[in-house]
Structure 1
Amino acid sequence: MVWESWFTIAIVCVLLYALARRWASTDLLVLASLAALVTVGELSTAFALDSRSLNPEATFYLPTVAQAIDGFGSRSVVTIALLFAAVVGLELTGGTELATSWLLRRPKSAVDAQLRLVAPVATLSAFLNNTPIVAAMLPVVTDLAKKMQVSPSKFFLPLSYAAILGGMCTLMGTSTNIMVYDMIQQSPGGRPLHFFEPAWVGLPATLIGILYMTVGSRWLMRDRKPAVSTSDDPRQYTVEMEVVPGGPLAGQSIEDAGLRHLPGLYLAEIERGGEVFQAVRPTQKLQSGDILIFVGMLESVVDLQKIRGLEIASEQARKVAAPAWNRSLVEAVVSPRCPLVSKSIREGGFRTHYGAAVIAVARGDRRVPGKLGDVVLQPGDVLLLDAPASFTQSRRDTRDFFLVSAVENASVRRPERAWIALGVITLMVLAAASGFLDLTTAALCAVIAMICSRCCTSTEARRGIDWSVLVVIGAALGIGKAMETTGAAAGIADTILLLAGNNPMFVLAAVYLSTMICTELITNNAAAALMFPMAWSAASSMPGVDPLPFAIAVMIAASAGFATPFGYQTNLMVYGPGGYRFTDYLRFGGPLDLIVFAVAMVMIPWVWPLQ
């Protein structure tokens, strides 16, 4: 190998160490490594120190700038960005909860609840990006744990693992699959794959993995307390919700509607035609137009908006000038200087004065009596407002309020468009799976449809794109190119062949395990981009051996990050809410790593013969 090969290997080793030690963010470290390779390459060429200048017959070199940044404009990066944007409409309309929450209504036990949770999540993850699915399911799972009075740690890790396993089943299930598929097509001898081709490995791995999680969690998962408990919030908001006329809750009992045991919230009374029912019975039937008075903590009040068949009872909320897609929920603390102090919300004309509607009021840890519009404001009252998106910025420095802050993850939902969003995503999947449209084209059409149908705005779609993931993929592809052009990949491949004795099955296992270990320490996309050139080169060096099975091994292994919190982004997402420790991942996820490895070693040679 030439000096460029050793330099590239050194850069990759430093990168792996830096990523494992968490010196900085992943995107910054990968980008800095690519910059080092390109800079040294340009300087060596300028001073005629590169191998081709020293030896005209040399064929190895550090990549040019154009080659290094080519990954940022690759088809895989564009497709992943479009899929991120397409899923935003599903998140903002509550489509994900609509598609899954009905399965979680009446589980008989914790094991039954786990099975009801992981099966639909794995199914959805086969067709959607894992991260937004897990993000959307976190509050659903939190509510489930509260209702069943069990630790949320019993559900969060299986949720993440189910999303990872489901993503292995299709070409669009994870960003890693899309990236590896793009690399296969660009490699000599590569061929197109069918949409469901990864399912030969992914489906049996998912089924066995679900069985393992539902059975093994009883002994391997420990009860943990979340790092931050929202139930410690002493504030008790009072909010009025109306039963939508003709909606799904009209005619149902309190029990059947699922309103009896809401976590962090209780139904205080019902108003119906001037009559007030204070002792609400579980069997009491709801009628169209009923006003339900709930009392509880902020997070639970926000979650009320997600219940289909309920809407904010305040007429003022319906008169807010901004459209629903341009509104958010805001908390504001009333100051003594507020001109509406000692006046009722209705008398003071709050909406007219501030352009926002009061939908809930909190006064310490006690309930605020009376109808919401008749509440007389006092200094220190905390108001939950349905306000235009610009309200937080425009009112932050006003003397009328001590504090104005947007409620996190509480954009005003558009539940009436949830079915539209689900329809758009379904059509996108069908178009891509049938081959009627290319995946990139189908994703582009889905984004446009989401925006045109007002499931999301163009701004929200842009914000939904995880740019750090795209930077990691683009830069990692550039480093992978350097491994190829400098001959480093071929050199490492020769070493693997030497250790494996040129046995294709041993090489396949070595490629899989190396990729899996890299994934556990760094990130799935970076691991795939770094390991793919070596795997393809190793397979191509063996006479009569097809490189495709080795690429499939990289695709599956790069997603098999179960044993550490860093192995996959969704593992980190549940780390805090589940109150987990590092050993929990090792104890519960380590065996799952071995299960997927065993399935891959059986299925890959059977479906894609090595020779």
Structure 2
Amino acid sequence: MFSIDAFLTLGVVCVVLAFLAFTRIAADVVLMGALAFLVISGILAPGDALVGFSNPGVLTIATLYVVAAGLKETGAIQWLAHRLLGQPRLLRQAQLRVLLPSAGLSAFMNNTTVVAMFIPAIQEWAARLRLPPSKLLLPLSYAAILGGTCTLIGTSTNLVVDGLLQSEKGIALSMFSLAWVGVPLVLVGGGFVYLFADRLLPNRQGVLEQLEQAREYAVEVLVDDKGPLVGKTIAGAGLRHLSHGYLADIERHGRLLTAVPPDTELLAGDILVFIGAPECARELRRIHGLRPAGGDVHKLDIAHHRRCLVEVVIGPDFAGLNQTVRQSRFRSRYQAVILSISRHGKRLPGKLGDIRLQVGDTLLLETSQDFVDQYRYRKDFLLVSGLNDSTPPDFRKAPVALAILAAMVAASASGVLSILEAALLAGGGMLVTRCVPASKARRYVDLSVLVVIAASFALGAAMTQTGAAAQIAQWLLLIDDLAPWAALALVYLMTVIFTELITNNAAAVLMFPIAVAVAEQLGVDFMPFVITIMFAASASFMTPLGYQTNLMVLGPGGYRFTDYLRLGAPLSLIVGATAVSLIPLVWKF
């Protein structure tokens, strides 16, 4: 009999899914609201609702943030990236150099961190080797996702499901339990990307020039009426051959002069509009007789050692989506000035204040170092790279950080310590050896992600206790004599759909009780179904929004949403078919 509590629980799940998929309300707010409703309505006891906050999987994820912080702050990933990328001459060689290291590193460290460190390295590397970044950055994201499926610590989703297994079934997976399926997936999926990425991904005309434009911004300066430049020509004033920019327009008495010849004389009060690289503003400040024209440009007077130029990609939780820069109150909200906005790899012209901001837009910001620390792992922005960073990594400690990571993997894989115990020791090791100061380590711990995961456990518990999960399982098994393999494929498909709509961790927690209920009603072992959730929740290739690394490469690669479908849809089918075929061979029904 379908109880009132089960009906209410299903209603809460549907509301949560709708809010996560179709609104911009932060995921942690939505999930905590659902948790509060379940407790206040009496569907769950407080102890059952809060069980996620003490789950070993959630605590392991929190600890691994500190380990990732040590690897990031010492530049260990950057150090490895530069050595592993090498100097290939052909695109095929370059793609192989991207796929193998990113998949290998993502098996043992946070794939978001790996991709964030590889993006600027690949941009610089592709420009130097004259290769299109659009052929390399999406394969980077896909390889990182696939690599994360090889080990238990490769992605937070694996740790979440392992935590559920421990608390619900008393079963703990080992470090390399998933490798029997994960490694073949890397080989099959990575092989597909290697063979078809060149054909399926765009190589739009001028992609290298587009990349340069994405790093350009406009600087307006005023010809001082008492300065030495009044009456001089553009060429005579030394403004014709700047190293980092060029003169685009002159605004004179309310009229805009474009494509001005070099013999044009400068008048007092002329506003000169320069387009250039971040260093252009610094170059113009050295020219006597020019001063900032006002508006946002006056911020460029900040001393070089105090200001920080940062490239970021707008994320799905950005508060000013679909608003103009002016409406979003960007400067007051984030204490940062937008110098340039690029979309699909092209710098957007016109007044910055009138441009409507969209997910995936790449912004060049002038801000303080605190901004980088504050938003490094927030979903308002996905950090791509900091320019003129005043705190470069301490590469001397990179070997120490890598040694701590290796020791953590070895201790866990050998069974000497559990993954949580090994992670706690590794996190402590990063702090003791000063690979990362405690103050910075705190900023790396993403509380919003941890709250989303822990609060999701309450929904899973409610679905189990009220019988809602069993009811959904019955609806899934309406087909008479459904084979376990077919049911497994159905669970995989449902998980993939949830992952593309909401966060992968929330999808895994919601599907866990459903998968267990399906196995019970079929009278088979639940392990193949649970393992299927682990792989399906990570298999997000078709949209830039389903997985954070996909969104991170959207702007820098100049991609459109259709590019993800073109390569990601067949990749999803291949990975899904491979996983559903292999999982029952390793974990028997």
Listed one character per residue, the Cα deviations across residues 319-341 of structure 1 (whole Å, up to 9, x for unaligned) are: xxxxxxxxxxxxxxxxxxxxxxx
SS class of match (2:472): helix
In 1: Cα distance, 2:20 partner to 2:63 partner: 27
Q: Which residue of 2 aligns with 1:37?
A: 38
Give the drift of 1:184.
1.4
Q: From 151, 155, 161, give the equivalent of 1:170.
A: 151
Q: 1:191 aligns with which of 165, 171, 177?
A: 171
Deviation per residue, 1:91-120 (Å, 9 max, x gap): 111100211221223112122111101111
How far off its partner does 1:178 sit?
A: 0.5
Q: What are the residue-to-residue correspondences of 1:229-244 with 2, within 5 Å?
A: 229-233=213-217
Match of 1:445 among 416, 425, 437: 425
CA contact 2:57–2:159 (8 Å) conserved in 1 = yes
How far apart are the structure 2 equivalents of 1:583 and 1:387?
41
Unaligned runs of 5+ in 1: 42-61, 236-294, 298-359, 370-375, 390-395, 397-402
User: 1:131: which partner in 2?
Assistant: 112
Q: What amino acid sits opposite 2:190 in the alignment? A: I
Superposed structure 1 runs of 4+ greater than 3 Å apart: 223-231, 360-369, 376-389, 403-409
Aligned residue number for residue 575 of structure 2: 596
Q: Is the 8 A contact 2:55 2:167 kept in 1?
A: no
1:102-121 aligned within 5 A: 102-121=83-102
Structure 2 counterparts to residues 80-479 of structure 1, below 5 A = 80-188=61-169, 191-223=171-203, 229-233=213-217, 364-365=282-283, 385-386=304-305, 405-406=368-369, 408=372, 409=386, 410=389, 411-479=391-459
- Alpha-carbon distance, 1:191 to partner: 2.8
**Cα deviation 1:14-66 (Å, max 9, x = unaligned):** 2212222134122222222222222222xxxxxxxxxxxxxxxxxxxx21122
Within 2, Cα distance between the matches of 1:228 and 1:554?
41
Q: Is the 8 A contact 1:500 1:506 kept in 2?
A: no
| 1:541 Cα deviation after fit | 2.2
Contact persistence 2:151–2:178 (CA under 8 A): yes
State how far apart, in whole Å, the 2-side matches of 1:484 and 1:475 are. 15
TM-score (norm 1): 0.69
Q: Which amino acid aligns with 2:548?
A: Q
Partner of 1:64: 45
CA RMSD of aligned residues (A): 2.7
- Contact 1:227/1:576 (<8 A) preserved: no
Matched, 1:580 2:580: no
- Give the 3 Å change call, closer, same or farther, for CA 124–500 of structure 1 in structure 2: farther
Q: Higher Cα Rg: structure 1 or 2?
A: 1
Deviations 1:421-445 (A, max 9, x none): 1111111111111112211111111
Deviates more, 1:528-537 or 1:4-13: 4-13
Q: Offset of 1:576 from its aligned partner?
A: 2.2
Please, which of 521, 525, 528 is the counterpart of residue 549 of structure 1? 528
Aligned residues: 449
Contact 2:66 / 2:430 at 8 angstroms: preserved in 1? Answer: no
Residue 382 to residue 211, structure 1, CA distance change in 2 (3 Å): farther
Contact 1:171 1:177 in 2 (8 A): yes
**Secondary structure in structure 2 of the residue aligned to 1:499:** coil
- Looking at structure 2, the residues matched to 130 and 368 of structure 1 have their Cα atoms a distance apart, in angstroms, of 42
State the alpha-carbon separation in 2 of the partners of residues 419 and 500 from structure 1.
Answer: 58
Match of 1:13 in 2: 14
Distance 1:446 1:470 in 2: 19
Offset at 1:417? Answer: 1.1
AA aligned to 1:566 is L
1:498 to 469, 478, 481: 478
Q: Alpha carbons of 1:213 and 1:500: their partners in 2 closer, same or farther (altered >3 Å)?
A: farther
1:229 to 1:84, Cα distance in 2 relative to 1, 3 A = farther
Instruction: Give the equivalent residue in structure 1 for 2:239.
Output: none
| In structure 2, distance between residues paired with 1:231 and 1:10 | 47
Does the aligned pair in 1 maintain the 2:95–2:136 contact within 8 Å?
A: yes
What is the deviation of 1:412? Answer: 2.8
Contact 1:134 1:159 in 2 (8 A): yes
Are 1:571 and 2:550 an aligned pair? Answer: yes
1:605 maps to 2:584: yes
Distance 2:487 2:132 in 1: 43
Task: Say which SS state the counterpart of residue 472 (structure 1) adopts.
Answer: helix
